[in-house]
Amino acid sequence: MKAAAPRYCVLIPCLNEERAIGALLRAVLTHCSDVIVVDDGSDDATPEIVAKLPVTLLRHDTRRGKGEALRTGFREVLKRGFDAVLTMDGDGQHSPNDIPRIVDAASRYPNHIVVGARLLNRAQQPTGRRFANAFADWGISWGCGKPVTDTQSGQRWYPRAAMQLVDLKSQDFVFEAAILIAACRDLDMNVVSVPIESRYAGEFRLSHFRPVRDVVRITWYTFWRVLHYGHVVQSYRASHDTPPLVHDPEGLCGGNAAVAHSGAS
């Protein structure tokens, strides 16, 4: 049954996104009037562009990584009393037009993390990145003890309880994996995905994510979390014997057997 939409805001961590950030924010504002941008020490025109728009701009004097940018944003969101936050990357990879679909999934699945999963037009994804993401999904799902699709997507809906994990000891891109694992394991929170486009066209700048370096870091962190929680074999079976939950009422994924299509819960 669909519940009332929680009070939420959009959080966008960014670094040197002068090419995309203005158009992205103007489009986001058509869907949500509460937007927080955390600039992680940009040395281009990003902060000046953001400052001209009706959004909240928080700045790091020096670069601290995506994890710290999200932490800064989460603390601001919690301080303002929002029930949830929707995160998006600042490079334009995530379409603001998917915001209503993610909010709808959050309303139908209360107390779930909602992931905008790049299940559509996957051929656009660079081969190395596609393999890295698939490997990360395999490992992080094991860490979560539950199946999760597109564990590397930065377009996510976090309920307030998940944001309260803000002080987890992890850095940079590992932080997003740490939140998923801790929310699933410590809070018994579930994850539902919404299919979104894989957008890797030439207008986007190269990702700050480094497939080899960052996947190694994420894998190492996840390995130790799997051992920490124990029941290693049971966790693997629970996370890999059933498909992930995907909210796809429009049938965008077609007959893809790799996902479990679902409407309302």
**Per-residue pLDDT reduced to its tens digit, 49-59:** 999 999 999 99
**Per-residue pLDDT reduced to its tens digit, 151-160:** 989 999 999 9
What pLDDT does residue 137 have? 92
Q: Among 80, 84, 72, which residue's Cα sits nearest to residue 163?
A: 84
CA 68 to CA 72: how far, in whole Å? Answer: 6
pLDDT at 37 over 90: yes
What is this structure's pTM?
0.90
pLDDT at 42 over 60: yes
CA 50 to CA 18: how far, in whole Å? Answer: 9
Torsion sign (Cα): 262, 92, 172, 31: negative
pLDDT at 11 over 90: yes
Query: What mean pLDDT comes out for the span 130-135?
Result: 82
Q: Among 108, 109, 87, 112, which residue's Cα sits nearest to residue 98?
A: 87
What pLDDT does residue 255 have? 52
Query: What mean pLDDT comes out for the span 1-18?
Result: 88
What pLDDT does residue 263 have? 43
pLDDT at 203 over 60: no
Could you tell me the two tokens for 255?
């007959």
Sequence-ordered strand ranges (E) for 18-153? 35-39, 56-59, 84-87, 112-120
What pLDDT does residue 172 have? 79
- CATH for the 8-200+207-262 domain, from 3.30.1360.120, 2.60.40.10, 3.20.20.70, 3.90.550.10: 3.90.550.10
What pLDDT does residue 1 have? 59
Domain coordinates in residue numbering, the chain: 8-200+207-262
CA 233 to CA 195: how far, in whole Å? Answer: 29
Query: What mean pLDDT comes out for the span 134-147?
Result: 94
pLDDT at 261 over 50: no
